[in-house]
Amino acid sequence: MKRAGVILHAERDQAVTTARALVETLLSRGVGVWALDGDADRIGLPGINATPAMPEDLDLVIVFGGDGTLLRAAEAVGRSGVPLLGINFGHLGFLSELERSELDDGLKRLLDNGFIVEERLVLEAEVDHGDRVETLRALNDVIVAKVATGRAVRLGVTIGGERLISWAADGVIVATPTGSTAYSFSAGGPVVSPHIDCIVVTPVSPHGLFARSVIVPPDEEVELALEGERDPASLSADGLPAIKLAPGARVRLRAGKDRIRLAKLEPRPFWRLVREKFHLNPGE
């Protein structure tokens, strides 16, 4: 590894302290280090390269934070294909490779042995406002939700060109397998291995008998149409600031052609991770 980037949690001082120590080690080993301008100022080391955007030719970006920080890092690397290695300073940390307590040993293994790469499906969303179209990407999920308190939003769902249902609900979550352990899971959706390519569509508190998730193959498009004449909605991709949707707006979602690449120090079974993160009792 010759060129590495670092991205920090926006608020946690311990992430800054840990990143500073790691960057010093990388610099001492002859590794060039880049950080976004604000992160470089917080780290405060003379050898670091401050940049307004992550270079596309880095070998690795090391992320100090929880899953939210890693999702922000995924946006920062865009379509470059630079692998992300997460160090967990959050809670569950499903996307992180290392806990803080594992960092010293993990850094040694990284520098001595390198890493392997695990590719994750990404959602591409096309938001049609009628007079303009926005495009978004998401590693975890895209959520269309109600705005008015006490009122459901009505969303027509079309999958693979076939109209399925019109849900009156608090919202609809369209998730990747990676995002299946996030908000979709909290709304009653299934846990899906990231080694399966699919799209998970989960209603949030729907009014009606059909209140289950739908699993969609990656070659079929999902369309959500905001129905009704007066109820607006909001759209959020990977927890980024919400976009306002007016009645009549349509959101078309599909599996992206490119992937987000996560760096792993060693292969780890996904179901072991599920067991550990959710503190499940495996029995005998």
Catalogue the active-site residues. 67
**C-alpha distances in angstroms, 134 versus 75, 115, 128, 244, 266?**
16, 36, 7, 12, 38
List of residues 6+ apart from 272 with CB closer than 8 A: none
Give the residue from 165, 168, 176, 145 showing the smallest Cα distance to 253. Answer: 176
Tell me which H or E stretch contains 259. Answer: strand 250-264
Contact 142, 236 (CB under 8 A): yes
**C-alpha distances in angstroms, 211 versus 142, 150, 169, 235?**
18, 19, 10, 21
Token readout for 176 is 């990747």
